Structure 1
Amino acid sequence: MDLAKGKDIVFIGACRIGKSALFYVPLMAARLRFGQGLAILVVPTKALSKDQAKAANKRGLCTITINSDTLRDASCQMPQRKPFDEVAEGLWELIIVSPEMLKHPELNKKMQTKVFRDHIRFFGVDKFHLVQDHGEDFRSAYQEISVWRSCLPPDVCWIITTAMPPTGASPYTMLNSLRFKEPEYIFRKLPVDRPHINSSTMYDIAWAIPMSAKKPKDIPKCIIFCHTIEFGYPSWSERKRRLPGHLNSCLSQY
């Protein structure tokens, strides 16, 4: 309802609680209401873009990921595909890109076409906590996402989500950097604890360790309680195995 009223959405919640529905459902509603809707979704990694595209296509949304791999694959197809032209022609409902790809001159050119601007309804950012500076290796393109406020039509709604509450900076400071203005947005924050880790979810470390982590101090404190040693030790050792060596010191057993 808030999106229908033109309000932006800010949502913080634990992994695997359905945050992605905030990107999919509005597009489905736009299809019913307008005949077609279009959204851009910014994600940090190719793996995540692949997962998001798979989930969106499964729900009947025409989705494309545009990155160096998909552009190369498209150029090798016969006949050769041109993803940027497909964007301009309105063939896709959801376009998933990295913040760096947003700066691609060809994509920028196509996003100024009448078809694109007539259909664009939503602009999404997954893992929006990455707009916060995370050190020397920080991907500065995240801080430049806000320029799209002035590039897109003014009625485009922004939807940003994360499972990682910002560390060291107020969420409102980050929202200001993305040009979110009260009372034009809705802010919802749910607990990010994971109270029911089991054998099928213990291998997932994304909810506890930010993908942007470069050093142990980048990882917020997290306490995992296990009912038994039989479950606790393999849970700890699996997380330790999945971490890069320079981050292993952040894990301790008690």
Structure 2
Amino acid sequence: MQSSSAPLNDPDSTNKHAVNTPEWFESVLKSASSLSELRPLQLKYGLEMNQGKDVFMASPTGSGKTLFMLSGAIAAQARGEPGIAFFVVPTKALAIQQANTARKYGLRAMALTHDTVRQPGVNLFAELGRGDDIRVAVMSPQMLSNGEGIASCLKQTAFKTQVRWMLIDEVHLFADETSIFNGPYKALAPMRDILPHETQWTAVSGSITPAQALEVGKALGFHPGHYINAWYNLDRPNIYYIPRILSHPTSSSTFLDLAFLIPFDATSIQDIPTAIVFADAIRTGQAIMGFLDLLLEIRLPQYAHRKKVVRL
């Protein structure tokens, strides 16, 4: 949930470069991340963040966006400065994952989820507001926009003035009308007026179109000429999208178009290919799991008790 690390309050103790120079910044990020080399986007746009500029980035999955997003906070901690970063992700699992990553970078990070904020004897909101170090609050847009804890904190001037970074991951969900996350992400728009004018905003996505980027950026207050537009080609040559028209209805508990996932001629579970099926609702995922479990019982009865073959 939370961990504190020794802050890099004395940059000269490990970094002999002048503070805030590109060389100093690169050394700080390498030390925090234990990387021998930084990726070009991490250094180039991390320097922009370190100067307090807003950045809207489109970059492929796996290109190092997380370290880039946290680079401003890492540099501030190296200078011995205090502050709070709001880090928005769509799910609880991602909140926990990104909080763990931030801790590995030496930041005091906490995942604010409906589970962690209800722990007896723990007040994460009060903890977030205390300290002379950098604190990272990783949470869903629902927790930030609708959560009474954060709303109450932002009514306190002493807390609100500490919020230096607004970091939004998976920002394409703001434009995806088919996603269950669309509404919560759209509720982030008023935060530009709620947070201090000095708060630095960063939004990233690995799957957003240029048209969506303009639409989302405008809605979130990224005005042309007042932010850095970091756009990278999102094409991945090793990934192909092959549309397939469904031949059978999906309105019941039978999903015949997915029957191939449990091969008819399979003789062992090793014959079942590894696959990920995305559904638009938990109940649909449960229905698909039930259908595949039934096929497993029919085609490979000797393995029917192996509940881990099909997982939700």
Alignment TM-score > 0.5, same fold: yes
Give the aligned partner of residue 125 of structure 2.
Answer: 84
**Cα displacement string for residues 149-201 of structure 1 (whole angstroms, at most 9, x for unaligned residues):** 1111101110111111148x43211111111112111111212233468xxxx
TM-fit CA distance, 1:141: 1.8
User: Aligned partners of 1:125 and 1:111: how far apart in 2?
Assistant: 18
Mapped pair 1:178 → 2:205: no
Aligned counterpart for 1:29 among listed residues 36, 56, 75 = 75
Q: After superposition, what is the alpha-carbon deviation per residue over 1:210-245, rounded to whole angstroms, capped at 9, x for unaligned? A: xxxxxxxxxxxxxxxxxxxxxxxx9xx434x44449
Which AA in structure 2 matches 1:122? W
Amino acid at match of 1:30: A
Structure 2: distance between partners of 1:81 and 1:128: 31
The CA deviation at 1:115 is: 3.6
Partner of 2:229: 187
Give RMSD over aligned pairs: 2.9
Match of 2:190 among 147, 159, 183: 147
Q: How much has 1:111 moved relative to structure 2?
A: 2.6
Are 1:50 and 2:86 counterparts?
Answer: no
1:107 aligns with 2:145: no
Number of residue equivalences: 206
Structure 1: stretches of 5+ with no match in the other structure: 198-206, 209-233, 249-254
Aligned residue number for residue 164 of structure 2: 121
Give the distance between the partners of 1:106 and 1:138, measured in 2 at CA: 21
Given that residues 85 and 136 in structure 2 are in contact (C-alpha distance below 8 angstroms), is that contact kept between their aligned partners in structure 1? yes
Cα distance between partner residues in 2 of 1:192 and 1:133: 17
2:115 match: secondary structure: helix
Bigger mean CA offset, 135-144 vs 37-46 = 135-144
Partner SS, residue 56 of structure 2: strand
Once residues 127 and 226 of structure 2 are traced to their aligned partners in structure 1, the CA distance between those partners, rounded to angstroms, is 32
**AA matched with 2:113:** N
Identity %: 26
**Matches of 2:181 and 2:73, distance apart in 1:** 31
3-state secondary structure, aligned to 2:221 = coil
User: Which residue does the alignment assign to 1:60?
Assistant: 106
Instruction: Point out the more displaced range, 57-66 or 104-113.
Output: 104-113
Q: 1:20 aligns with which of 66, 75, 83?
A: 66
Which one has the largest radius of gyration?
2
What is the alpha-carbon distance in structure 1 between the residues aligned to residue 129 and residue 188 of structure 2?
21
Shift of 1:52: 0.5
